[in-house]
A and B are shown apart, each in its own frame.
Chain A
Amino acid sequence: MLHNPLILLIAAPIVMGAICVILPDRIKVFIKIAASFVCLASFAGTIFVFLKKPLVYNYDSYTVLLADNLSGFIAAAIAAFALLITIYSFGFIERSFGRYFGYVLMTLGASMGAVFANDMIVLLTFWGFLAAMLYLMVNLKGTDASAAAAKKSLIMIGGTDALMVFGLCLVWSMTKTFMMSGVRIPLSSAPAYVAYFSLAIAAFAKAGAMPFHSWLPDVAEFAPASVTAYLPASLDKLLGIYLLARISLSLFAVNGVTNTVLAVVGAVTIIFAVIIALVQHDLKRLLGYHAVSQVGYMVLGIGTGNPIGIAGGLFHMLNHAVYKSCLFLSAGSVEKRSGTADLDKLGGLAKYMPVTFAAFLVASLSISGIPPFNGFVSKWMIYQGIIASAGPKNPLWIVWLVAAMFGSALTVASFMKLLHSVFLGRPDRELKDVKEVGFAMSFPVIVLALVCFIFGVFAFILPLPVLIAPAIGLSIVYLGSWSPVIATILIITGITAGIFVYYVFRSKKTFRTVSIFVGGEDVETLGRISGTDFYDTIKDMKALGGIYKKEAAGGLDLYNITRNAVYYFTRQLQHLHNGVLPTYLVWCLLGMIGMFLVVFLRWQW
């Protein structure tokens, strides 16, 4: 049993993580070495599995674990992220080493289990375990706000896990097996639809698609940045979209109805999340809303139902994990060095943290869908998928296309603000002593930024044919032509020419730089021009203003709406529980009368 690589990949991190959790913080060097070694070994192991796939683990001719094209590449990505986050955490984490690295490893092992699972019970077990891990990791921060965020994430993700149990039990009742391979359920009956949407909701909550998104911005704001980069930004996306892809591509035979629902969820998520992101004042919360918004593209891509759209969605999932964890890790570096994530207080950090700035810039361009970075390629494929899905049966395709493109434009706008407020402009006086982060923290960020570039330029050489196309198992037909290598060369040529022109014709300095002077007053105290209120004017627009007000009051949050509904019933029931003994005896009597009616009038199902 233990010589099976899949079992090892799952068991080794979990066992090692459990050991780390109980180790004392004193031996942090040992914990760090153990954690990085396990992550490195897992990464090597997943590469091995990826090359040797398909691999299975059978128990009595029953396939429990299965590494196929889809799970193979997602597992490799998960291990890579775990490795990078572990390296970053060497510099980032200052206390609770044992628990932190222990949870990181256990999360890694459980994610492997969830991805490789071919048995639905195994999938459920690891899937639910991950929710508890996120809860514990967010709580490592140990403040009231982080506790509240952790609570919300556990209730939303764990709560939808219960729906997943229900959905998988329905699947079992239709197929009479717990194995997922070789099963394809036609969406022809009500239970099939209920099962599909139960599972889809679990995937949405994990990935953070609307309306199950609201835990994500809270976690992003209040959890340690490395935790956000690890779980909500990368692993939860990979797993959530993996589940959505699994059920949409193989477990169920999807049709127009489900695709339309996915497209609606995707389009709404893209637009609303990015609109809310525009006006945020906290660096990490803003990134959190973008992490929601980008999920919309993945869901929309899968919802197109054609190979290129699905491939685009999956590629976007991978790309998003890369650039969003890069963004969160950079944000973590900024917060660690400057002591704040408040955009009003940040500014001008490009001078002090050039490496972080460069990586953040690359990731920002990537998330905004600017060529030649990876975000552009996957968005481009999703647009093609939407166009390819156009037809008399799908008249709404133009709406999805506009939503996707408009969302992309707003993302650019939002990141303009972010880049300005954090890295450009004039720095606050308190930020004068900020220094660049050490190698452990800058290395993962640089690697991720490079991946953004490589996956963009060599998209049709490296990631798409090796990782994505085999995973969906359909041939992808590209519309139009886009050659990223040539485009990159052209872009670089253009920029070089621009720099050349700038330096050649800058013969004489025609301006001088002086500090701001206002009648002898200290300008710094009068206020810098921060980028935070770039878009405050749109708050005044009638239609959008309402949305912002509601969002700020929590009125758009499914969590709050449900909570208020439940508390309404709680109050009604509390009125009945008035503490008077005769009342309670009357209930007993009424209960007995009811039972007599049932047995003597023979009420039945």
Chain B
Amino acid sequence: MISLLLIIPLSSAFLIPIIGKRIKWTGGAISSLAAFALAANSFVIISNLMKYKTLLYKFGAFPPPAGISLIVDGLSVFLLITVNVVAFLIALFSMDYMKQYTDRWKFYTLFMFMLAGVNGVLIAGDIFNLYVFLEVAAIAGYFLVGFGVRDEELEAAFKYAVMGSVASIFILLGIGLLYSYTSTLNMAEMARILPQTGTSSLVTFVSVLFLMGFGLKAALVPFHSWLPYAHSQAPAPISAMLSGVSIKVLGIYALARIFFNVLGMTPAVCFILIALAVLSMVAGSIMAFGQSDIKRLFAYSSISQIGYIALGLGIGTPLAISGALFHLFNHSIFKSLLFLNSGSIEYAAGTRDLNRIRNVIREDPVTGYTNLIGSLSICGVPPLGGFWSKLIIILACIQANHPILAFVAAVVSMLTLAYYFKALTPALFGTHATAGIKASGRKISFAMAAPMVILAILVVISGMMLLPNPGRELLKGAANVLQNGRNYGK
């Protein structure tokens, strides 16, 4: 069952080049089916997890720490569900959206590799496997960003690849040092050994390497500069994957898993995390004001919103962690929705320039209204999901006696509202058409509309995660894993 999370995407990545290369439509169908199976499997896993707190899969039946293990606990399953549901909807969207590209089977193959990597990171029980899966997802990402092979797309892919590799090298260096220090790669075992050895400057050194490496994957300022390029130049489904899934799993999840469960959160790490978070929130939103490319706008807003998540984790109280995880969930839904919107706008209007897009809401109501719902949510307008997670984070800041941070979070929320609606209102409601949305004459199909509508419905009802069952249990289960600290895997 846990192993299916890897078997499904990897076997489809194997099947698609064989079948999809000859019969064009099968590539999209296989990847959508595979993503659906993954999502369904995640729900099966959660129903099992209710019985056993932690699920363990041993490769070749070797017991950990000697053997390689795959572990699913509350945090993993929370993200597994988020990631796989979002990935399924993105796969559905890309079936029709990707028809504008040639060699689609390569896209779907890489997409499946990316999904395999992301799922692998979430269930990896030892730190080296985590790194391997992280690289699988990241390298698939480098290729996918440059999938359109125009100059600027290749430039973006190159920047992403260079910076991503720098981060990976530092992560690998950190893992190597940690391995030499603890003689194990199993994270549960490491978490057991590290406290016994006392504090050491080596661990401190490694923690900085990890903060930089995973911080770059999560696009925290000042390690964010690849993101506006990669997110804006990738095909829209990949932008949605990168923003809704990748930066969260490869960046935030890995960061949280390693620091909370393995290395332990020291005050210095908390301080750094909060500082990076505040920088990201403020700089991301201020930069977003200057953007007229709709995808760059969303990209900078991702940086700013990732800041909220990091802020919650950095504060580290139970309320703050729940808020951060809830915001992660929300952001993954509404940001993938927004990137899919940007895709369908670009598909119909033939441009991403916000100065030229007009009248979306009347000419393409599905895109227009779903985009409005997503934007209102990310700006924290009640009763949509984003409001609740921001509220919890602000409340947690005040509860933890950091009123200044709460104020910063409130001001950034204000800025978010300003830059979103400054840019989107003319595009959605304005009529002065320099390039109406139907410039290309293409109409979005049902397969493109359905995922956006489903995501918009999720955005509207995601506030219900705070109701007792099952939402709050899921959230609580995930937050408990982080609060339990180094009792990981027990």
Q: List the A side residues contacting B417 at CB < 8 Å.
A: 154-155, 158-159, 162
Q: Say yes or no for B204: interface residue by CB 8 A criterion.
A: yes
User: Shortest CB–CB separation between residue B487 and chain A, in angstroms?
Assistant: 24
Binary flags per residue of A160-194, CB closer than 8 Å to B gives 1, else 0: 11110110011011000000000000000001001
Does A497 belong to the interface (CB within 8 Å)?
A: no
A595 to B259, CA, bound (A): 15
Contact B290 A581, beta carbon cutoff 8 Å: no
Knowing A144-B432, A591-B212, say if A165 contacts B268 (CB, 8 Å): no
Q: Are A166 and B425 in contact (CB under 8 A)?
A: no
CA distance A142 to B359 in the complex (A): 9
Q: With the chains together, A585 CA to B397 CA distance in Å?
A: 32
**A to B CB contacts below 8 Å, 29 in the list:** A128-B382, A128-B387, A132-B381, A135-B421, A139-B425, A144-B432, A155-B422, A158-B417, A159-B414, A161-B380, A162-B417, A165-B380, A165-B413, A166-B410, A169-B398, A563-B418, A567-B289, A570-B286, A573-B290, A577-B228, A581-B163, A591-B276, A592-B208, A596-B205, A599-B207, A599-B266, A599-B269, A602-B268, A605-B267
What's the nearest-Cβ distance from chain B to residue A425, in Å? 35
| CB interface residues, B 67-86, toward A, < 8 Å | none
Contacts A162-B413, A169-B406 supplied; 11 other A-B pairs, CB < 8 Å: A150-B429, A154-B425, A172-B398, A173-B399, A574-B290, A584-B159, A584-B226, A585-B163, A599-B207, A599-B268, A603-B271
Q: Does B47 contact A (CB under 8 A)?
A: no
Binary contact track A563-584/B, C-beta < 8 Å → 1, others 0: 1001101110110010001011
Q: How far is the CB of B372 from chain A (nearest CB, A)?
A: 8
B272 contacts partner chain A, Cβ-Cβ < 8 Å: yes
Minimum CB–CB distance for A14 against chain B, Å: 10
Residues on the A chain within 8 Å of B212, using CB: 588, 591-592, 595
Complex interface: chain B residues within 8 A of A570 (CB) = 286-287, 289-290
Query: From residue 46 to 75 of chain B, which have CB atoms closer than 8 A to chain A?
Result: none
Do A158 and B381 touch across chains, with their CB atoms under 8 A apart?
A: yes
Which residues of chain B have C-beta atoms less than 8 A from A165's C-beta?
A: 380, 390-391, 394, 410, 413
Are the CB atoms of B166 and A588 closer together than 8 Å?
yes
Q: Is the CB of A166 within 8 A of B406?
A: yes
At the interface, is chain A mostly helix, strand, loop or mixed? helix
Residues from chain B with Cβ under 8 Å of A173 in the complex: 398-399, 403
Are A129 and B225 neighbours in the complex by a CB distance under 8 Å?
A: no
Interfacial chain B residues near A194, Cβ < 8 Å = 403
Which residues of A (93-142) have their CB < 8 Å from a CB of B? Answer: 121, 124-129, 131-132, 135, 139, 142
With A144-B431, A162-B411, A581-B159 as known contacts, state yes or no: A125 contacts B387, CB within 8 Å: yes
Of the candidates A129, A139, A571, A592, the one having the most CB atoms from chain B within 10 angstroms of its own CB is A592
- B389-418 with Cβ < 8 A to chain A: 390-391, 394-395, 397-399, 403, 406-407, 409-411, 413-415, 417-418
Provide the bound-state CA to CA distance between A62 and B413, in Å. Answer: 30
Contacts of B411 in A (CB 8 A): 162
Does B195 lie at the interface of the complex (its beta carbon under 8 Å from any beta carbon of A)?
no
* CB pair B429 A142 closer than 8 Å: yes
The residue among B158, B208, B380, B428 with the most chain A CB atoms within 10 A of its own CB is B208
* B426 in the interface (beta carbon within 8 A): yes
Are A587 and B431 neighbours in the complex by a CB distance under 8 Å? no
Central interface residue in B215, B222, B391, by most chain A CB within 10 Å: B222
Q: Are B425 and A147 in contact (CB under 8 A)?
A: yes
CB distance from B158 to the nearest CB of A (A): 8
Interface size class of B (residues with CB under 8 A): 35 or more
Q: Nearest chain A CB to B1's CB is how many angstroms away?
A: 39
B394:A169 contact, CB within 8 angstroms: yes
A173 closest partner in B (C-beta): B398
In contact, B381 and A588 (Cβ under 8 angstroms) = no
Interface of B: prevailing SS: helix
Task: For the complex, give the distance between the alpha carbons of A544 and B379 in Å.
Answer: 39
Residue of B nearest to A157 (CB): B417
Closest 4 CB pairs of A and B: A584-B225, A151-B425, A166-B410, A159-B414
The reply to whether the CB of A491 lies closer than 8 angstroms to some CB of chain B is no
Tell me whether A358 is interfacial, beta carbon within 8 Å.
no
Is the CB–CB distance between B286 and A158 below 8 Å? no
With A and B bound together, what is the CA distance between A570 and B205 in angstroms? Answer: 34
Binding site for A on B (CB under 8 A): 158-159, 162-163, 166, 201, 204-205, 207-208, 211-212, 215-216, 222-223, 225-226, 228, 266-269, 271-272, 275-276, 283, 286-287, 289-290, 362, 376, 379-383, 387, 390-391, 394-395, 397-399, 403, 406-407, 409-411, 413-415, 417-418, 421-422, 425-426, 428-432
The distance in angstroms between the C-alpha atoms of A155 and B423, with both chains bound, is 12
State A294–B140 Cα separation when bound (angstroms). 62
CA distance A588 to B394 in the complex (A): 29
| A-B residue pair count with CB separations less than 8 angstroms | 175
B431 and A143 within 8 A (CB):
yes
In the complex, A166→B410 CA distance in Å? 6
Contacts of B211 in A (CB 8 A): 595
Q: A587 near B429 (CB under 8 angstroms)? A: no
Q: Is A502 an interface residue (CB 8 A)?
A: no
With the chains together, A571 CA to B381 CA distance in Å? 28
Task: Give bound CA distance, A125 to B415, whole Å.
Answer: 19
> What distance in Å separates the Cβ of A563 from its nearest Cβ neighbour in chain B?
8
Question: Whole-angstrom distance from the CB of B320 to the nearest CB of chain A?
Answer: 13
Shortest CB-to-CB span from A347 to chain B, Å, is: 31
Point out the residue from B268, B283, B286 that lies within 8 Å of A604, measured CB to CB: B268
**Which residues of B lie under 8 Å from residue A159 when comparing CB positions?**
414, 417-418
Q: Which residue of B lies closest to A571 (CB)?
A: B290
Q: Determine whether the beta carbon of A150 is less than 8 Å from that of B425.
A: yes
Q: Across the interface, do A158 and B225 meet the contact criterion of CB distance under 8 Å?
A: no
Q: How far is the CA of A139 from the CA of B424 in the complex (A)?
A: 13
Q: Tell me whether A511 is interfacial, beta carbon within 8 Å.
A: no
A590 in complex: contacting residue of B207, B222, B430, CB < 8 Å:
B222
Is A598 an interface residue, CB under 8 A from the partner? yes
Report if A162-B410 is in contact (Cβ < 8 Å); known contacts: A142-B431, A170-B398, A599-B208: yes
Alpha-carbon separation in the docked complex, A604 to B228 (Å): 31
A517 proximal to B (CB < 8 A) = no
Given contacts A144-B431, A147-B426, whether A599 and B382 have CB atoms under 8 Å apart is no
Q: B163 to chain A: which residues have CB within 8 Å?
A: 581, 584-585, 588
Do B394 and A605 have beta carbons less than 8 Å apart?
no
> Which of B381, B403, B414 is the one whose CB lies under 8 Å from A128?
B381
- Closest approach, in angstroms, between the C-beta of B283 and any C-beta of chain A? 6
Q: Report how far A194 CA is from B290 CA in the complex, Å.
A: 31
Query: Which residues from B are CB-within-8-Å of A160?
Result: 414
> Which of these, B204, B289, B414, contacts A600 with CB under 8 Å?
B204
Partner of B283, one of A132, A142, A172, A573: A573
Closest chain-A Cβ to B429's Cβ sits at a distance in Å of 4
